A = this chain, B = another copy of it.
Amino acid sequence: MPLKLESPIIAKDLLNFSGLKHVSGSLSAKALLISTAESPMADSLIFVSTQGDLLAAIQANAGILIASAKLALSHSETGPAVFSVPSIPHAMVEILSLAETRHRRIQKGIATSAAIHPTARVGTNVQIGEYVVIGAGATIGDNVTLSHHVVVEEGAKIGANSFLHPQVVIGAKCILGNFVEIQSHSVIGSDGFGYATMTDKTHKKIPQVGIVVLEDHVELGAHCAIDRATLDETRICSGTKIDNLVHIAHNCKVGPNSRITAGFFMAGSSSIGANFLTGGMSALADHVHVTDDVMLGGRSSVTKDITTPGAYAGYPLEPLKDSMKNTANLTHLTRFRRELAEVRKHLGLTDKKK
């Protein structure tokens, strides 16, 4: 179903958005909905990136079109208001903010049900939801939103303008920068998995007394666990974005502006450089170091240091191109076996051992 806007978008209001160029139609055109190019609706705003989508949107009597600049766009006085943009995703960042209502999900101000320790410091213009718990000596920056049931343990710090969705847990003494956003249920500062094995085969926990630091503009999905360090800190550097169900173990460091998609598992004491990007379900072994500007294909396993920037994939890890070829050949193994046996029989070579 299309998104019904609470207040219409008027074409002329988009003129001061970065990168938008008015091409066609009336600036007083308006959109009551946002619909998709696949299911275009009358009176809606639509992002179009193909000529076919453009035509369909016009035929559907769309109100406003945000069209990729690579399309052939002709001027017309009638029809929808058409803007050209160099990049649809960049246009979405600005235009969809008009429809974003996340700050309204909880009431203004501080819910009376919140349990805030008297020694906690809470900034100005904060939104604190129902049953939030803030521990002794914790610090909540200005303009922060802590949604319902968020727990901020003693001594933790939440930087200004951060937004924590329901039931996020921030462990004791952990530090979040400014403009951090965390989806529901993620845990910052769970204990690392560290044990000493005794002679009777039992395991005793090594107390995990370090912290986690999330720098500015870090964003995390749902159900992430970022473990606190054994001694010092686990750190996610500024601008890094992490998807759902990701595990970052104790003592790890992830460099700035990285993007980590869902199901990534990073074992202890490993590090990743800047601008890392990975497909889903990849993993790093412990004590492995990855340099800047590395890209991993999905399901990759990194068990040794990566010292050269580039694209890699597979297990064992290889340059992406090599990995794609080797992986494709996995579907020929049965044939390889048969053909190799045939060759050996042809040559009279006997199988010495299986």
Q: Which residues of A contact B (CB under 8 A)?
A: 1-3, 34-36, 39, 47, 87, 89-90, 92-93, 96-97, 99-102, 104-106, 111, 113, 115, 129-131, 133, 135-136, 147-149, 151, 153-154, 165-167, 169, 171-172, 181, 183-185, 187, 190-191, 193-196, 198, 201-211, 213, 217, 219, 221-223, 225, 227, 230-233, 239, 241, 243-245, 247, 249, 257, 259, 261-263, 265, 267, 274-275, 279-281, 283, 285, 298-299, 301, 314-316, 318, 322, 325-337, 339-340, 342-344, 346-347, 349, 351, 354
Contact = CB atoms under 8 A, between A and B. Distances in A.
B233 A225 contact: no
A202 B222 contact: no
Contact of A190 (B1, B209, B221, B343): B221
B206 A92 contact: yes
Given A225-B221, A265-B281, A298-B283, A206 B245 contact: no
B225 A244 contact: yes
A206 B96 contact: yes
Contact of A340 (B130, B233, B239, B339): B339
Contacts of A349: 339, 342-343, 346
A193 B131 contact: no
30 contacts: A1-B213, A2-B231, A3-B210, A35-B231, A90-B204, A102-B172, A104-B172, A105-B172, A165-B169, A167-B169, A191-B221, A193-B243, A193-B261, A195-B241, A201-B274, A205-B219, A205-B241, A227-B244, A261-B267, A262-B265, A262-B267, A263-B283, A283-B299, A298-B301, A315-B327, A316-B331, A318-B331, A329-B337, A339-B344, A343-B343
Nearest to A112: B115
B96 A193 contact: no
A195 B154 CA distance: 33
Contacts of A333: 325-326, 329-330, 332-333
